[in-house]
Chains A and B, each alone.
Chain A
Amino acid sequence: MTDLSHTFAAAADKPLLQVKSLTKRYGARIGCADISFDVYPGEVLGIVGESGSGKSTLLSCLAGHMRPDQGEVIFETATGPRDTVQMGEAERRRLARTDWAYVHQNPRDGLRMGVSAGGNVGERLMAIGARHYGGIRDKAIDWLGRVEIDAGRVDDRPSAFSGGMQQRLQIARNLVTAPRLVFMDEPTGGLDVSVQARLLDLLRGLVREMGLSAIIVTHDLAVVRLLADRLMVMKGGHVVEAGLTDQVLDDPQHEYTQLLVSSVLQV
């Protein structure tokens, strides 16, 4: 793991993801408009804004769940930079199984509720070609441990888990294949504050140890303060302010960001 940190430090001068002039309209309405930014290896980017600001639309376009009307989403694949918008469906699905991960706000959207916890984690491994049952099971148990789910629960179905455990299981399922980029849509939404804290700590440790990059969409400014290196603030489909997380929160420049920050009890 320590060697890994050196390799990504060396590669860190090249963006992992480059988004250029991305636009998505819903008829006459704007989903998100003219969004451009880069994400570097090992970096966590937070996207905040109220509901309807376009942050989820943006995330869906980035992850290939939705096709943008304009713009490029260039991902640094193993064989060089590729525009994932222009990519064929099969190839994009392959990326989604290997280099990318998507953590849904509702764990039920990201888990198979009828399959055991171990099966949920193992399935991602099998999707990239793992076939040895014992190996898959061992790796699944290892990952359940990392997200603090007792190995004794490996054969239980997620429907028997609490919301916080389901969310941790979803994270294990997503990270088991060592993706390079994780998309997260309100990963701590709907969880108890104490469970949220544990999840935040877990995510921070994983980012540090695995050198992964993450794009986190949330409306919780306290979450981004602790997790994100950089922050983008969205309103009405546009990015109104972007910068270093604590700079945007402590010295917001845009009118909307000032309102957003001053409306929170304490961040």
Chain B
Amino acid sequence: MIEIENLCKSFTLHNQNAAVIPVMAGANLAVARGECVGLIGASGAGKSTLMRMVWGNYLAASGSIYVGNVDVVTASPRQIIALRRDTLGYVSQFLRVVPRVPTLDVVAEPLLNLGVPADTARARAAELLARLNIPQRLWELSPTTFSGGEQQRVNIARGFAHPFPALLLDEPTASLDAANREVVLGLIEEAKARGAAILGIFHDEGARDRVCDRLIDVRAFTPKAAA
């Protein structure tokens, strides 16, 4: 479902004497349907960079990233928007929303964008929020005022609202208590069972051992000159 071949990335910092910093070279990996692959490697090794290139908010220098039949590296912005609408989901570490929008609508939005009727979308959102132990009295409030753990759970609910065939998870269990961590791991296992291909970063080793089928150390993708 996700196939990465010979992927390279460098940053050019124009405001620092046009310094060119190579960060990744020759990255190869594949994630099949129903499989969860964990990225490991020290902080700064390029785990998040790789995830962002798959999501399309970082541009690759060369190589290819197929998600389904779309190559994110060469796709037009419109193709990436369509891919994110129906195929590729992303649970980032940060919740980024329009302020003052109720939590229930934040979670329902990915479904509304797919043309799901508002009632159905909100019902699905309510189900996920309840499962993730967000108290119902908070559903009509904007998540911008929530605690870190609550925001993280809202983000997860939003990411799992639509059954995306491919999912990117950036530390989905960070800052969660044991009970909520369990709920999130359950959601990940269900997503795998329905055939989702998942690429994730998990610093939580217990979580990693439980849901990941394979681990890939991104240090193997570090450009040799910079190593």
Which residues of A approach B to under 8 Å, CB–CB?
2, 5-6, 9, 40, 43, 193-194, 197-198, 200-201, 204, 208, 225-226, 229-230, 243-244, 246-247, 249-251, 253-255, 258-259, 262
Contacts and interface: CB of A to CB of B under 8 A. Distances in A.
Interface in B79-102: 80-81, 96-101
B123 to A, nearest CB: 16
A249 B12 CA distance: 15
Contacts of B117: 2
28 contacts: A2-B117, A6-B115, A9-B115, A43-B78, A194-B99, A194-B100, A198-B100, A201-B100, A204-B98, A208-B112, A208-B113, A229-B77, A230-B78, A243-B59, A243-B77, A244-B56, A244-B57, A244-B80, A246-B56, A247-B56, A250-B52, A251-B11, A253-B59, A255-B15, A258-B13, A258-B14, A258-B15, A259-B14
A247 B53 CA distance: 9
Given A197-B99, A244-B77, 13 more contacts: A2-B115, A6-B115, A43-B78, A197-B98, A201-B100, A225-B96, A226-B97, A229-B77, A243-B59, A246-B56, A247-B56, A250-B57, A258-B14
Contacts of B58: 247, 250-251
B107 to A, nearest CB: 15
B19 to A, nearest CB: 12
Interface string B156-174: 0000000000000000000
Contacts of B13: 258
B145 to A, nearest CB: 13
B15 A5 contact: no
Contacts of A251: 11, 52, 57-59
A39 to B, nearest CB: 11
B86 to A, nearest CB: 11
Nearest to B77: A244
B100 A197 contact: yes
Contacts, number: 65
Contact residues of A: prevailing secondary structure: helix
A198 B11 CA distance: 36
Contact of A244 (B12, B81, B97, B112): B81
B110 to A, nearest CB: 12
B7 to A, nearest CB: 14
B14 A255 contact: yes
Contacts of B56: 244, 246-247
B15 A262 contact: yes
B98 A259 contact: no
A247 B15 contact: no
A248 to B, nearest CB: 9
A5 B78 contact: no
Interface string B35-58: 000000000000000001000111
A40 B99 contact: no
B57 A200 contact: no
Contacts of A262: 15
A259 B15 CA distance: 7
Contacts of A229: 77-78, 81
Contacts of B98: 197, 200-201, 204, 226
Contacts of A204: 98
B75 to A, nearest CB: 9
A254 B81 contact: no
A197 B78 CA distance: 25
- Which 10 pairs of residues, A with B, have the shortest CB-CB distance? A255-B14, A197-B99, A244-B77, A246-B57, A250-B57, A251-B58, A5-B115, A197-B100, A201-B98, A247-B57
Given A198-B100, A200-B98, A247 B59 contact: yes
Given A247-B56, A247-B59, A251-B57, A201 B115 contact: no
Contacts of B112: 208
Contacts of A254: 14
